[in-house]
Amino acid sequence: MTTPPRVAVDDRVPAPAGSVLAIRGGRPLRGRVDVKGAKNLATKAMVATLLGETASTLRDVPDLSDVAVVRSLLEVHGVTVTEGDEPGSLVLDPSEVESAHYEEIDAHAGASRIPILFCGPLLHRLGQAFIPDLGGCRIGDRPIDFHLDALRKFGAVVEKQPSGIRLSAPNGLKGANIHLPYPSVGATEQVLLTAVRAQGVTELRNAAIEPEIMDLIAVLQKMGAIISYEPNRVILIEGVETLRGYDHRAIFDRNEAASWACAALATDGEIFVAGAKQQEMLTFLNVFRKAGGWFDVQEDGILFRREGELKPVIVETDVHPGFMTDWQQPLIVALTQAKGRSIVHETVYENRFGFTQALVKMGADIEVYPHGLQDGPRRVPRRELEQAAVITGPTPLHAADIVVPDLRGGYSHVIAALAAEGESQVSGVDILSRGYEKFLDKLSALGADFDVVR
């Protein structure tokens, strides 16, 4: 599988603007940031528009590169995308959906993981689909076997080709009984986006129930779908013949909100995250508090800061309602300043501690156990791919020259540089535009001291 082009720290290769920052740390971040719609909902709600007969309006769409990739892939399939009646809203009109040329689709190869979700909607609309090679962060193997197995159960014929996947549905798509081996977010979305217009009833067991999935269900219900959520991760979908467009405001980005909360903790600052809501962040807020954080839930957002000394915590990442895998990276930066030994068990992806090497270079004491720790009983059952990081603090962080590895790891590097004494050079920061809207503007607004080197 190909991955997005990386920024080389090499003068011969022109780096995209804003990709290399000189960051002078040791100054607390203080102020307000606005968090808009979640990347991990907005992109999927955009794909859902393919299923409707009429135009949809999506509100609070973040200005991110993943959104741009999905918009472009929709446009090559004939969806007309225009600005809506308020800033950040998009109107997506699918009335002229058509097959796209191979070259136009292939131009999106390696840019994002969302294109895999085009399968069901395109099969319903066109009877066939071609999906380019996927991109996304390099945090593990990230297979798509659950997706393809589910599509075959609906009656799709899946043909793997050297540059992507070709699908057809010679006999249409029919409701199916599907039991996911793991509550995968993407595979659950795949099933939802396919089942809503498949003939008959689909029963999905062991489904992911992340708030972004519940918001996608809300979008699909607005379109005319019949979906019920049963106890124990069971979702029932009664297929309908036609769906219409929707008008929907995307759920807030709780990953971005948690990232800024950890930035306040790590830099001993105070950040008001406008748009953050408590319900979707309950698990994060518990850990934040146990680690020595203080927060105040307000009408229009949440205020985050430290309360005294930081304290060590033991965390296991998990599917919702557990502690999200996307939250551990910025939290670990803060834990380097906690007095004592913290342990983070990563149970979702098999390669999500690579970013800690840069923190060690900056003075952190972090030991990674690639096969996990065989320690006492745990809330989350051990998985084959599990790893653990043991963080011992407090250790002062000092400046270093570092290259960011992926979206969430990259964010944690920037925060570490802001917490460290001295001037760090952080390269590859443009990758953050995949998940953090107006990232550099927000850093400036919070009083960060940095220059864009190139």
Closest approach of ligand EPZ to the CB of residue 166, in Å: 18
Contact positions toward ligand EPZ, by CB under 6 A?
40, 113, 137, 140-147, 182, 184-187, 208, 255, 324-326, 348-349, 407-408, 435
- Measured CA to CA, the distance from residue 347 to residue 385 in angstroms comes to 7
- Measured CA to CA, the distance from residue 348 to residue 104 in angstroms comes to 33
Nearer to ligand EPZ, 385 or 453 (CB): 385
- Measured CA to CA, the distance from residue 44 to residue 40 in angstroms comes to 7
Closest approach of ligand EPZ to the CB of residue 349, in Å: 5
Residue whose beta carbon is closest to ligand EPZ: 186
Nearer to ligand EPZ, 23 or 151 (CB): 151
Question: Among this protein's residues, is 137 annotated catalytic?
Answer: yes
Strand pairing class (401-403; 423-427):
parallel
Nearer to ligand EPZ, 147 or 197 (CB): 147
Q: CA torsion sign, 99 to 102 to 108 to 112?
A: positive
HSE of 343, CA atoms in CB hemisphere, 13 A: 14
Closest approach of ligand EPZ to the CB of residue 445, in Å: 23
Nearer to ligand EPZ, 187 or 397 (CB): 187
Closest approach of ligand EPZ to the CB of residue 317, in Å: 9
- Measured CA to CA, the distance from residue 423 to residue 202 in angstroms comes to 56
Strand residues in 266-394 grouped as ranges (E) = 270-274, 293-298, 301-306, 314-316, 340-346, 365-369, 387-393
**Which position among 137, 139, 313, 366 bears the catalytic label?**
137
Residue type, 250: A
Closest approach of ligand EPZ to the CB of residue 279, in Å: 17
Nearer to ligand EPZ, 25 or 135 (CB): 135
Helix (H) or strand (E) holding 177: strand 177-179
Contact of 94 with 45, CB cutoff 8 Å: no
- Measured CA to CA, the distance from residue 365 to residue 394 in angstroms comes to 9
**What are the residue numbers of the active site?**
137
